[in-house]
Amino acid sequence: MTNNRTFVRIQTGGRISTTGKIFADSRSPTIDCTVIDLSARGACLDVHGTVEIPKRFTFLHGGLKKSCRILWQKGRRIGVSF
CATH number at residue 58: 2.40.10.220
Does residue 2 lie in a domain region?
no
Residue 1 is assigned to a structural domain of this protein = no
Q: Is the pTM of this model over 0.85?
A: no
Residue 73 reports pLDDT greater than 80: yes
Dihedral sign, CA of 11, 33, 77, 49?
positive
Q: Which domain holds residue 32?
A: 10-81
Q: Let me know if residue 3 belongs to a domain.
A: no
pLDDT of residue 69: 96
Note whether residue 5 is domain-resident: no
Task: Say if 4 falls within a structural domain.
Answer: no
pLDDT at position 14: 52
Taking only the tens place, the pLDDT of each residue in 15-53 is: 566 899 999 888 888 999 999 988 889 999 999 988 888
Residue 37, CA distances (Å) to 16, 27, 70, 78 in order: 10, 28, 15, 11
Q: Work out how many domains the chain is built from and give that number.
A: 1
Residue 45 lies in a domain: yes
Cα 65 to chain center, whole Å?
A: 11
